Amino acid sequence: MQIISLSSLLEVGTSEVEVFDYLSSFLCEKNNDVESFLHNNAIENEKRSFSRTFLVIDDEIGEMQDEIIGYFTLLIKEFTFQEGVTGTKRNKVSYGRNAEGFNSILIAQLGRADKYKGVVKGEEILKFALHNCEIICNLAALGIVCVEFDPIDKLVKFYESQNFKILQQNKNTDKLLAYIKL
């Protein structure tokens, strides 16, 4: 497996149509948002420097060579603490018990292709994402990584098993916000 940035695909002279077709080969029926983002928003967000998307590519497994195993998208985002978040939690995330908010690296998308379920674990794709977050932390001193996700038991267990801590629930979207300190 190797990681290829979407920006590098767009820069090497590959036409945008070819990149679009390549991204469209990614299928994730269990999570339409993950599939839709890669198909419909990733290129535009990349060109606008709104986010950076990285593809996990299969460079070893016979016929499936160069297929997209999964991907992740990173961006810097400011979060506001919701009412009810304790001073202790605020302090852990922002180093201020009375802080109103904090900046973090957001893993905005994280997904695995249906074809690779049972072949590649989600933890492996998350590990690649966190490695890139560590690089950002070393360059820009952003040591908090967040994920937002639907409050589904399987997702809660997944992120908690990877040492993420639930911080709050977004009142508008009902998504949970979890964090990890690098």
Over residues 43-61, the pLDDT tens digits come to 999 999 999 999 999 776 5
* Short-list 162, 122, 123, CA closest to 145: 162
Least confident of 64-68, 111-115, 138-142, 160-164: 64-68
Instruction: For helices 16-24 and 32-40, give the axis angle rounded to 10 degrees.
Output: 170
The reported pTM is 0.92
Band of residue 125 on the pLDDT scale cut at 50, 70, 90: very high
Pairing of strands 176-181, 2-5: unpaired
Matching residue, tokens 């991907």: 71
- Provide the residue type at 18 as one letter: E
Domain count, the chain: 1
Band of residue 62 on the pLDDT scale cut at 50, 70, 90: very low
Structure tokens at 10: 């767009």
Q: What is the pLDDT of residue 70?
A: 95
More confident residue, 65 or 119: 119
Domain that holds residue 53: 2-181
- Spatial neighbors of 95 by CB under 8 A, at least 6 apart, are none
Matching residue, tokens 């009412």: 83
* Short-list 90, 96, 128, 94, CA closest to 109: 128
Q: Would the pLDDT of 172 be above 90?
A: no
- Provide the residue type at 179 as one letter: Y
Q: Would the pLDDT of 65 be above 60?
A: no
- Spatial neighbors of 37 by CB under 8 A, at least 6 apart, are 73, 109
Domain containing 117 — which CATH number? 3.40.630.30
Q: What is the pLDDT of residue 61?
A: 52
